[in-house]
Structure 1
């Protein structure tokens, strides 16, 4: 946890400060340990880049002596280790396991949000489909009734014209002439009702009723 990391960094800093020239072997061990801390616990910081500039050996004796190079490298390493310790003390350092748990939690939250949005979208889509189906059904029903009215007017007009302009002796002299015309009108109505009736059984009943009315009027 955080406190354990702080304790490790404190001990690590004490060991660095205890280095004495020319203990290059110990300096190399502590240098690589510092790199490990930087990459493992401070991967989002720039300590790794700073460590590149740490060098305990003199590149050129004309510029620095071996002791000067040692002191410069040691001071830089102490500064980096101290900065890590301050960083861990002042801020909440996320350890790898903490990051994994946090990332897993975030993924779970995002998954839940995605599922909620997906469910909401599917529900909205289903509702829109139902609305469209209802509108389409109403439109079809409206068209059927319009067709029914138009055809009713047309056939009624034909029946009226037939009654007034065409003289059929059998019909003209029939004792139930008016009943026949009424039955023909009912035949037209019930026959046309089959256009707007969705149920096949009801359609059949309409046709039977229409034919029955005509037969009864003739008898």
Structure 2
């Protein structure tokens, strides 16, 4: 298939799933914030990381995030390490409304693809995202399971996690490995000892 046709189809998919009018009282920008925080790992659930992911300004990102905090969709959790930094977590209210996200139409379309095709498609899209991000000088986001900084063999002794993020020296559980991370570096996809299911809002 012609490369321009592929690029146009990807762009069109984005338009028809993100340019919805107000749905359940939330704007497209607010939906984008909720989707991001549902997928981001605990190291990446910050306003600055969201701004980097969506290539927007920190000011614009902060305004949208504050509006969702005011509506009780997001809650701020202070870091136990220093007490100054904080991460943003979805509330139960946010998890419930994400089931009605207009973006789910695209998820269902992807799920309808054959399993083998999904794997090749995901790999191809990641390569495209990485190339465009590098050309634009933007950070490349990805998941732990294909990150060069993930350490461990999936085996764990009592009281220890099976994987470790080598960038922040923090333990990682199997269920966290398909979450988005701002510290991602492309590496060889690991063979996991358990199944990593699709991320669910936390």
Greater per-residue helix proportion: 1
Same fold? TM cut 0.5: no
Q: Which one has a larger percent strand, Structure 1 or Structure 2?
A: 2
How does the TM-score come out when normalised to structure 2? 0.22
* Higher RCO, Cα 8 Å, sep 6+: 2
